[in-house]
A and B are shown apart, each in its own frame.
Chain A
């Protein structure tokens, strides 16, 4: 397995459900990110983890709860979501979280639908 993988690729859940999104990077990177992409809108940065420590939380509602148990794995725990949370959730990683001159590598995303 290479690059950044995400599971599941598609998820349909009710507003009362609890589910988790998983991301794994096989690139030896030190930073991982969660993004939300809604239709016709830019990618919105949700969370940043640097060396397993959360360094940024962009005013994301508490119904989204990230977890980074090690530098290769990142989770996004979901509970009591709203229909407007339906979107593509993308995970990314980068080598050096403090350097602006390095690109992020993205996973394929999880298409989430909240009924």
Chain B
């Protein structure tokens, strides 16, 4: 039972354009959502998060949008840079699970110069 899904295994964009990574969840108890970035041979690094009381959170080039009614969140990167090429994981946690995270499968983003 995959509670967090990233349906696009890969995404390729041109440098300078917008990258949009999507994530869907099924568990209505999730109230905190995170995005992690992972380079090869490294562990995931925290990128940005959003709580369920908000619908948008912005940090520099990165913005996360949350649509609770659709159980959908997205990560926007603009402008995209070649150094953004990595695997992006969506994760969620909920009131009943404490800090335990449920991860999606990841999306490989490639930003072409």
- The number of chain B residues with a CB under 8 A from chain A is 29
Do B44 and A45 have beta carbons less than 8 Å apart? no
Taking residues whose C-beta sits less than 8 angstroms from the other chain, chain A's interface range is: 20 to 34
Which A residues from 19 to 49 make CB contacts under 8 A with B? 31, 33, 40-43, 45, 48
Using CB atoms, name the residue of chain A closest to B2: A42
Interface-facing stretch out of A60-68, A69-77, A79-87, A96-104: A96-104
Interface-facing stretch out of B11-19, B45-53, B61-69, B75-83: B45-53
Besides A42-B2, A100-B98, 5 more A-B contacts (Cβ < 8 Å) are A40-B105, A96-B99, A100-B94, A103-B34, A107-B43
Interface residues, chain B, CB within 8 Å of chain A?
Answer: 2, 4, 9, 31-32, 34, 36, 41-46, 49, 51, 89, 93-95, 97-106
Interface residues, chain A, CB within 8 Å of chain B?
Answer: 4, 6, 9, 31, 33, 40-43, 45, 48, 56, 90, 92, 94, 96-109, 111
